Amino acid sequence: MNRFVFADPNLCIGCRTCEIACVVSHQADGKLTGVAPKDFSPRLTLVKNAHVTTPVMCRQCDDAPCAQVCPNNAIVLEDGYVKVIQSRCIGCKTCVIACPYGAMNVVTKMVEESKGASLFKRMVPKSQALKCDLCSHREAGPACVEVCPTSAIQIIEAETLQETSKQKREAAALNAAVAIVR
C-alpha cells in the first residue's frame, strides 16, 4: 500500500491555505509572487458545497487507473507514490477520465517552441497532467499537511492504514460475537 494524503471534511474550513502551499512548494523560487492567476495550478482541488468543504487530492492508488490508461506510460508508480513523468505526457486527458477521485487535472500553458535550426521561436500551447506528488521534492513532506490550520489534512502511511483496518476488523468481529451471544 502507498501512503497518501487524506482530508477530514469535518475539520476543513475552506481557507484554501492548502492550495496556496501546494502552488508555492512547486515554484522554482518557492514564492507565490509572480504567479499569474492563469498559472495558479494547485495539485489538489477544494470542493465546496452547502454541506461540506474539503480538498480532494490523489490517493496514490496501488493499481492506479490513471497509469493503466496512459498511452505514453507517463504515469508510473515509483518511490512509493504515483508520479507523472512530464517529458512523456502528451496531455490527452485519458488519466482525468480514469481517475475515480477526480484528482487528475490537465493544465495547458504556453511554452516556447523552435523548429529545427530556425532562429524563430514561437509560443505554443502544451497540455500536461498535474496531480498530487506528495511534495516528493520536500524533506518535510506534503506542504498542505504542514500548513493546514485545523489539521484537517493528514498523511496516511501504509502502516497506519493497515493498523486501522486491523482495529476495524477486530471491532466488527467482537460486535458479531456479541450479537450471536444475545
Entry pTM: 0.81
Q: What is the pLDDT of residue 153?
A: 97
Q: What integer pLDDT is reported at residue 32 of this predicted model?
A: 72
| Predicted local distance difference test score (pLDDT) of residue 118 | 66
Q: How far is the C-alpha of 182 from the C-alpha of 174, rounded, in Å? A: 13
Cα angle, residue 31 at apex, residues 25 and 32 outer, rounded to 5°: 95
- What is the reported pLDDT for 180? 74
User: pLDDT by residue for the chain (182 residues), tens digit each?
Assistant: 788 999 999 999 999 999 999 999 998 777 777 777 877 899 999 999 888 899 999 999 999 999 999 999 999 999 889 999 999 999 999 999 999 999 999 999 888 887 766 677 888 899 999 999 999 999 999 999 999 999 999 998 888 888 888 888 988 888 887 767 66
Task: Give residue 161's pLDDT.
Answer: 80
> Number of folded domains in the chain?
1
Residue 100: is it exposed, middle or buried by C-beta count within 10 angstroms (0-12/13-18/19+)?
exposed
Closest CA to 43 of 156, 157, 153: 153
Cα angle: 35, vertex 41, 45; to 5 degrees: 140
Q: Which residues contact 176 (CB under 8 A, 6 or more apart)?
A: none
Q: Give CA 110 to chain center in angstroms.
A: 23
- For every residue of 4-56, DSSP letters joined together read EEEE-TTT-----HHHHHHHHHTSTTS--TT--GGG---SSEEEE-SS-EEEE
Q: Which helix (H) or strand (E) holds 123?
A: strand 121-130
pLDDT of residue 152: 97
CB contact at 8 A, 142 and 17: no
Task: State which H helix or E strand residue 21 sits in.
Answer: helix 17-25
Residue 172's domain comprises 4-112+120-181
